[in-house]
Amino acid sequence: MTALTLSTSAAPGLRADAIVVGVAKGSASTSGDLVVAPGAEAVDDAYDGKLAGVLETLGASGAEGEVTKLPAPADFKAPLVVAVGLGEEPEEGTAYDTETLRKAAGVAARALAGTKKAAFALPVADADAIAALGEGVLLGAYSFDVYKENGDAESKNGKAPLAEAALLGGKPRDKEYKAALERAVAVSEELNRARDLVNTPPNDLDPAAFAALARTAAEEHGLKVQVLDEKALVKGGYGGILGVGGGSASTPRLVKLSYTHPDADKHLALVGKGITYDSGGISLKPAGHNETMKCDMAGAAAVFAAVVAAARLGLEVNVTGWLALAENMPSGSAVRPGDVLRMYSGKTVEVLNTDAEGRLVLADALWAASAEEPDALVDVATLTGAMMVALGNRTFGIMANDDELRAAVHETAEEVGEPAWQMPLPEHLRKGMDSPTADIANVGERMGGGLVAGLFLREFIGDGIAWAHLDIAGPAFNEQGPFGYTPKGGTGTAVRTLVRLAERMAADELD
């Protein structure tokens, strides 16, 4: 991963391969002309104050995502200046918002792949800005090339990721700045680990392999870990996880990761959908719908990353992560449409569609998590195509049995720069899941399918527990081109929301 440093050096004398500056569309007060963003004054001076004009000549507009490269002034040690668009200049007296900085740093870091060292001369108003730039660089420079065998290490995915980034204006001796950067590094490293897990092909990441990684990480970070294997799941009566995992040669697991702080008085429980591959089972998905289904464990990956990040940050809150791991495959031992499963909660479920498997594994994990009576219970799942239809592929849906928790999750997601939207759980959709045979069926009305799934999950939440459900089917896996600090493939969505939620609980900002 890219090495980050805070630097007070001035751009001209810096030994680097490139200097990154920001360029924005001027506000009314600057008559709408292109403006060079604060932080790059020394660079602009070296162009005799004409950098904005030079960039305009080169066709720059200041739009977000735009990259313009130009030769550095002759007396600079660095040969290249990279101008990254910041969108509209903020109004006078206001700073650039953190998400704008995060995205710009991500775009620049990606544009600098193949470069050894870059200095970022972007606007730094406070420690939050440094954190955003740090996250943007680490997340934007990410690449997954474990399986690229052709070429040398450098050229595996085209170019090696940016090796080193110096953040200018970053007060290296200021405690607050240092802490902000350390947090950014811990969260980004874990988020990138979640991306790696999502990108790892399903033949190399089955439930047992995922559980083994959880064990290793738990040892490294002092977490308690408990892994229920198939035998233990049978003994415990986890009918949902066993039903879904029954068709696969790779047996299912339920992993419980616990981070505890001696002074904590709050407990956050996180549950992740961990379908290491979703073929649909006997209700098999057609070709065209199964090529990216290695991503169906993105919820479990996000939960895993968030628990480890909480431990690395030493948060004063207890965080338990439950990973519901299974592979959904068709075979002679697979669950059939028409089968009835007895779930861990004791409820019976008629499985009418084996492709609605996520809710079955989650139901068992949610009930197990409920037994510990956490202060809040949050699940994360690539649960429904319907949520993608509703919200597109960059926004996750938030459903809950508690208005305050739903609003708090939404607010938290906005704060960290993860697009999310609150969705309802309309009572009238519940009866579509009435089953003539069992307590409930695993599918209901097609319309509002994402909400139906949420209503199903709600049946497996313990009494009086505040629960929120994040359907990340849209943003979990980016099939289009990279944008901002988001790469192609696994995105790590929800990790930052979960970590921030744990921090807010530790600070008693949630009740």
Q: Which active-site residues does the annotation give?
A: 285, 359
- Comparison of 244 and 310: residue with beta carbon closer to ligand BES: 244
Q: How is 391-434 classified by DSSP, letter by letter?
A: H-SS-EEEEES-HHHHHHHHHHHHHHT--EEE----GGGGGGG-
Q: Based on the number of CB atoms within 10 Å of its own CB, is 445 exposed (0-12), middle (13-18) or buried (19 or more)?
A: middle
Considering only 89, 316, 355, 503, the residue that binds ligand BES (CB under 6 A) is 355
Site for ligand BES, residues 28 to 87, rule: CB under 6 A: none
Which residue in this structure is represented by tokens 């009866």?
Answer: 431
Closest distance to ligand BES from the beta carbon of 305 (Å)? 19
**Total residues at interface with Mn ion (CB under 5 A):** 3
**Piece in contact with ligand BES (CB under 6 A), picked from 182-190, 339-347, 349-357, 422-430:** 349-357
Which pair of structure tokens corresponds to residue 270? 């996180």
Residue 258 near ligand BES by CB under 6 A? no
129's CB contacts (< 8 A; 6+ apart) are 95, 96, 98, 101, 122, 123
Closest distance to Mn ion from the beta carbon of 278 (Å)? 4
Q: Which three-class secondary structure string do you get for 239-260?
A: HHHHHHHCCCCCCCEEEEEEEC
- Comparison of 213 and 282: residue with beta carbon closer to ligand BES: 282
- Comparison of 315 and 351: residue with beta carbon closer to Mn ion: 351
Residue 296 near Zn ion by CB under 5 A? yes
Residue 155 and residue 171: Cα distance in Å, rounded?
Answer: 35
Confirm if 52 and 33 have CB atoms less than 8 A apart: yes
Residue 278 near ligand BES by CB under 6 A? yes
- Comparison of 105 and 275: residue with beta carbon closer to Mn ion: 275
Closest distance to Zn ion from the beta carbon of 280 (Å)? 8
Please report which residue ranges of 141-279 form alpha helices under DSSP H. 175-199, 207-221, 230-236, 239-245
**Piece in contact with Zn ion (CB under 5 A), picked from 14-22, 179-187, 276-284, 311-319:** 276-284
Contact code string over 442-481 relative to ligand BES, x by CB under 6 A:
-x-----x-----------------------x--------
Site for Mn ion, residues 250 to 279, rule: CB under 5 A: 278
Contact code string over 326-365 relative to Zn ion, x by CB under 5 A:
--------------------------------x-------
Q: Looking at beta carbons, which residue is closest to Zn ion? A: 278
Confirm if 207 and 241 have CB atoms less than 8 A apart: no
Residue 207 near Zn ion by CB under 5 A? no
Residue 358 near ligand BES by CB under 6 A? yes
Three-state DSSP class for residue 504:
helix
b/e string for 277-291 if b means 16 or more Cβ within 10 A?
bbbbbbbbeeeeeee
418's contact among ligand BES, Mn ion, Zn ion, none, with CB below 5 to 8 A by partner kind, is none
Which pair of structure tokens corresponds to residue 257? 């990761």
Closest distance to ligand BES from the beta carbon of 382 (Å)? 4
Contact code string over 227-266 relative to Zn ion, x by CB under 5 A:
----------------------------------------
Residue 355 near Mn ion by CB under 5 A? yes
**Total residues at interface with ligand BES (CB under 6 A):** 15
**Piece in contact with ligand BES (CB under 6 A), picked from 110-118, 195-203, 260-268, 348-356:** 348-356
Q: How is 130-159 classified by DSSP, letter by letter?
A: HHHHHHHHHHHT----TT--SS-GGGTTSS
Q: What is the DSSP letter of 317?
A: S
Residue 131 and residue 185: Cα distance in Å, rounded?
Answer: 8
384's contact among ligand BES, Mn ion, Zn ion, none, with CB below 5 to 8 A by partner kind, is ligand BES
Which pair of structure tokens corresponds to residue 91? 């109004």
Closest distance to Mn ion from the beta carbon of 260 (Å)? 34
Site for ligand BES, residues 359 to 388, rule: CB under 6 A: 382-386
Q: Looking at beta carbons, which residue is closest to ligand BES? A: 385
124's contact among Zn ion, Mn ion, ligand BES, none, with CB below 5 to 8 A by partner kind, is none
182: phi then psi, degrees, rounded to nearest 5: -60, -40
Residue 353 near ligand BES by CB under 6 A? yes
b/e string for 399-432 if b means 16 or more Cβ within 10 A?
bbbbeebbebbbebbeebbbebeebebeeebbee
Confirm if 467 and 379 have CB atoms less than 8 A apart: yes
Counts of helices then strands in the chain (DSSP H, E): 14, 20
Which residue in this structure is represented by tokens 């083994």?
Answer: 212
Selection from 87, 100, 91, 108 nearest residue 129 by Cα: 100
- Comparison of 456 and 485: residue with beta carbon closer to Zn ion: 456
**Piece in contact with ligand BES (CB under 6 A), picked from 182-190, 301-309, 338-346, 353-361:** 353-361
- Comparison of 316 and 471: residue with beta carbon closer to ligand BES: 471
207's CB contacts (< 8 A; 6+ apart) are 245, 250, 251, 252, 253, 274, 276, 325, 326, 327
- Comparison of 85 and 449: residue with beta carbon closer to ligand BES: 449
392: left (phi over 0), alpha (psi -120 to 50) or beta: left
Which residues form the interface with ligand BES (CB under 6 A)? 278, 296, 353, 355-358, 382-386, 443, 449, 473
Which residues form the interface with Mn ion (CB under 5 A)? 278, 355, 357
Which residues form the interface with Zn ion (CB under 5 A)? 275, 278, 296, 358
